[in-house]
Structure 1
Amino acid sequence: MAQVLEFKLPDLGEGLTEAEIVRWLVEVGDVVAIDQPVVEVETAKAMVEVPCPYGGVVTARFGEEGSELPVGAPLLTVAVGATEAPASPAPSTSSASGASSAGAPAAEESSAGSGNVLVGYGTGAPAARRRRIRPERVGTPAAPAPVVEPEPVPVAVPAATGEVNGQQGPVAVVSPLVRRLARQHEIDLRRLTGSGPDGLILRADVDSAIREAEEAARAQTRTAAAEPAVAEAPTAVAAAPAAAERIPLRGVRGAVADKLSRSRSEIPDATCWVDADATELMAARAAMNAASGPSGGPKVSVLALLARICTAALARYPELNSTVDTAAREIVRLPGVHLGFAAQTERGLVVPVVRDAHTRNAESIGAEIARLTELARTGKLSPAQLTGGTFTLNNYGVFGVDGSTPIINHPEAAMLGVGRIMPKPWVHNGELAVRQVVQLALTFDHRVCDGGTAGGFLRYVADCVEQPAVLLRTL
């Protein structure tokens, strides 16, 4: 006889206490194997696929996509030993009620009377969510539904019957995040034409609709301002003020906000900067990549070279590879360099960490940066890959910015910011010439060192940028 077991949201590590359900990977009635991923959640650190420790038939799911669950809350129940959905109820009514209350905001949205358009994943199928049909279940008679509170399934509910953008059926949206963005900006998804496969509505489509709505509002404001006022009007009707948009600080954005606020409140930081002639560094990079040949391996990036220069500089100035233990009032110098680098993604700014960067050469660092960047873009970085850094390199020059004053990535002691490399007038060998110039900015914790140490570190980095041969002494 099958035994029904409850699987709860596990402890995801790194002090995380809650997670947002992004996408369910199984349906009620699906057969799952041990350690099969059943749900994709977003934490303050990363996107994580959560595997189920039981094998059997899914009898219930708790929580809607887009809702948040605390660690330890029920995720789903599994009938262990069953090969098809059981005919008798599995979880208790109280468990089902708890699940519906945990997903209350999403459940309200799924009400047909609300007029909201709620959709799931997939293309323009007759139902908003297409159920997977597993081979072992084809031809098997449908088992009686379990007597539990049914989980609300997001369904497209058009405001009126008939065609939507020339097509029958529900709206297709790629994710609940896109749906939420449209709802926040009062964008009617039924009026959008998706640019994805089979008319799938992507985030770019919603962003474009938001820009068009804002431009239309500005044009309406300009037109209204240009119209002359009617003096004979008996009364003046004041226009209702536009409602302010409120965006929850949670997930990655909330974690970044907390860390930056803590950095500003706890660390007495200071910044020094210098302009450097990067012409020789760019020439050395071109020579290295040319020497490797067309099939000699991946190209060495500028960021990889700068990262290698940083590890050499930290070997000379270990004060900057440290942290402050405020409780013990001690400076803790760290034995190895775990180099973080800032990466911008659709989910916000994240800082993946290259482990043991001090033991790697430029090619190895570059390969690891490329690997972690790809994981960041796809939202597959684990919490362990986003923590434990000892020094951070921020290349904001990729955004066309010349300079900035970086905020230290707490609890580290320093961050090096790199602006864009661009042609500028420069005195070279006593003559005015056009050279490739970059601005380097170092923000440091004044508790761990003074300006002399910080200036020495930054000057050494600039010297290596201007004369890469200087770096050969430490290789």
Structure 2
Amino acid sequence: MAQVLEFKLPDLGEGLTEAEIVRWLVEVGDVVAIDQPVVEVETAKAMVEVPCPYGGVVTARFGDEGTELPVGAPLLTVAVGSVEPVTGAGSGAAAAGAEPSGSGNVLVGYGTGAPPVRRRRVRPERLSGPAAVAVATATSASAAPGEVAVSGRGTEGVRGPVAVVSPLVRKLARQNDLDLRQLAGSGPDGLILRADVESAIRSAAAAPATESAGTPAGMPAGAPAVQTATPAVRTAVAAGPSARSVGERIPLRGVRGAVADKLARSRREIPDATCWVDADATELMAARAAMNGAGGSGAGPKVSVLALLARICTAALARYPELNSTVDTEAREIVRLPEVHLGFAAQTERGLVVPVVRDAQGRNTESIGAEIARLTEAARTGTLKPAELTGGTFTLNNYGVFGVDGSTPIINHPEAAMLGVGRIVPKPWVYEGELAVRRVVQLSLTFDHRVCDGGTAGGFLRYVADCVEQPAVLLRTL
């Protein structure tokens, strides 16, 4: 007889206490294998797939896509035991499991590595005992309001699949209260693309304007309109004319909420100061061109400016280790850290994230550049692991990509410093006693004044500027 086991949202590590359901990977009635990913969730740090430690039949799911759940809340239930799945004629597929068992691996990324199985669905009549009751109850209640459950053999009723691959597309639809099941995708095999969602949002925004002249037909006089484009519009309608001064309300949660909390804590706890200097980056850019084989037969991946600056930072931190530290406020101690885990700011569609190049002090420019490229691509696709976004000891922020010259960076708590880099642009510059046009960059260092004084911070920044102006200075530390 099958036994119904409950799988709860596991502790995802790194101090995370909640996660938002982005996409369910299984339906009620599906057969799942041990450690098979069953749901994709978004934490404050990354998008991750959660594997289920049990093998059996999914009998219930808890939470719709877009629901935020705390760690320890039920995710789904699985009927574990002797269950005969629905298979094709003559397939001879094995049963879902003979004994109630599981891997015990409830942390993301700690599965047994068993190969994924083809999704199969079990008819409720094939189940017995608590499993049958659970599946029947879950499927009868699974249809959304106004939606008729699709009936097959037996009493199974499930929603049809939504042809969406990208979590970002789902999130955009969710933020605008758009039902993806009502869209026809323009991608291959009807795949719903971001352009489809944006077009539907624009159409929904234009619809209320045509109805503003009066109450829609069939609606009682004085009844509030409910078909509006966004949650913000519905809020304004419900609250009346005075709501115009309130504006749109955007929840601070997920990545943006985590960033807001960290920045506020940094300003609250760290007595920071900023110093800056303009540097002639002409020679640095020439060195980069030589490394990349400009005009020659250069081989291998291109060296980025960010990789060169990162290597300069590791050399500077070796000379000024005070800036590679943190402050233990309870013990009133400065903790100097032996390894340099170099973070770099990356802007993504999900917001600002800071991937970390671990053990950067032992890497050369090419190795740092390759790791930055890998982490940047993972950030772009939303596949960064929580461990790749934590543990940084120093951060490099290249805001020059936004076309600005300078800034006063906010320290990435609990680190002690951040180097900001502006755009590199041609400017008038006195070079060897004469006015010339050189490629100039502004460098800004924000530092925790508890770990060092201005002399140390100025020495660090001056060394970085010297390496930018004369890359040969780095040869002394290689």
Using structure 1 for the length normalisation, give the TM-score.
Answer: 0.75
TM-fit CA distance, 1:379: 1.3
1:108-147 pair list within 5 angstroms: 134=118, 143=126, 146-147=132-133
TM-fit CA distance, 1:196: 4.0
Name the SS for the 2:69 alignment partner.
strand
Give the distance between the partners of 1:202 and 1:405, measured in 2 at CA. 38
- Matching residue of 1:228: none
Counterpart amino acid of 2:6? E
1:414-453 pair list within 5 angstroms: 414-453=417-456
Give the distance between the partners of 2:182 and 2:85, measured in 1 at CA. 39
- Matching residue of 1:11: 11
Which runs of 5 or more structure 2 residues have no equivalent in the other structure? Answer: 87-116, 148-159, 210-239
TM-fit CA distance, 1:81: 3.2
Q: 1:84 to 1:343 in 2, by over 3 A?
A: farther
Contact 1:393/1:417, CA 8 A, preserved across alignment: yes
Name the SS for the 1:290 alignment partner.
coil
Contact 2:28/2:138, CA 8 A, preserved across alignment: no
275, 279, 287: which is aligned to 1:276?
279
- Is 1:315 the counterpart of 2:318? The answer is yes
- Is 1:455 the counterpart of 2:455? The answer is no
Give the distance between the partners of 2:41 and 2:180, measured in 1 at CA. 24
Q: Deviations over 1:217-269 (max 9, x none)?
A: 99xxxxxxxxxxxxxxxxxxx96653621111111111100000000000010
Q: 1:26 to 1:190 in 2, by over 3 A?
A: closer
Give the distance between the partners of 1:217 and 1:417, measured in 2 at CA. 45
- Matching residue of 2:33: 33
Q: 1:295 to 1:288 in 2, by over 3 A?
A: closer
- Is 1:150 the counterpart of 2:153? The answer is no
Q: Deviations over 1:80-123 (max 9, x none)?
A: 2344469xxxxxxxxxxxxxxxxxxxxxxxxxxxxxxxxxxxxx
Give the distance between the partners of 1:410 and 1:395, measured in 2 at CA. 18
Contact 2:22/2:170, CA 8 A, preserved across alignment: no
TM-fit CA distance, 1:435: 1.0
TM-fit CA distance, 1:449: 0.7
TM-fit CA distance, 1:213: 8.8
Q: Deviations over 1:440-467 (max 9, x none)?
A: 0000001111111111100000000000
- Matching residue of 1:377: 380
Contact 2:272/2:449, CA 8 A, preserved across alignment: yes
Counterpart amino acid of 2:60? A
Aligned residue pairs, count: 400
Contact 1:172/1:200, CA 8 A, preserved across alignment: yes
TM-fit CA distance, 1:4: 2.2
Using structure 2 for the length normalisation, give the TM-score.
Answer: 0.75
Contact 1:29/1:84, CA 8 A, preserved across alignment: no
Counterpart amino acid of 1:308? R
Contact 1:66/1:177, CA 8 A, preserved across alignment: no
CA-based RMSD of the aligned residues comes to: 3.4
Which runs of 5 or more structure 1 residues have no equivalent in the other structure? Answer: 87-132, 159-168, 219-237
- Matching residue of 1:285: 288
Give the distance between the partners of 1:52 and 1:310, measured in 2 at CA. 42
- Matching residue of 1:104: none
TM-fit CA distance, 1:295: 7.2
Contact 2:32/2:119, CA 8 A, preserved across alignment: no
TM-fit CA distance, 1:58: 1.5
Counterpart amino acid of 1:19? A
Q: 1:7 to 1:355 in 2, by over 3 A?
A: same
Q: 1:191 to 1:73 in 2, by over 3 A?
A: closer
Give the distance between the partners of 1:354 and 1:420, measured in 2 at CA. 23
Give the distance between the partners of 2:49 and 2:163, measured in 1 at CA. 23
Q: 1:67 to 1:183 in 2, by over 3 A?
A: closer
Give the distance between the partners of 2:205 and 2:301, measured in 1 at CA. 43
Contact 1:402/1:419, CA 8 A, preserved across alignment: yes
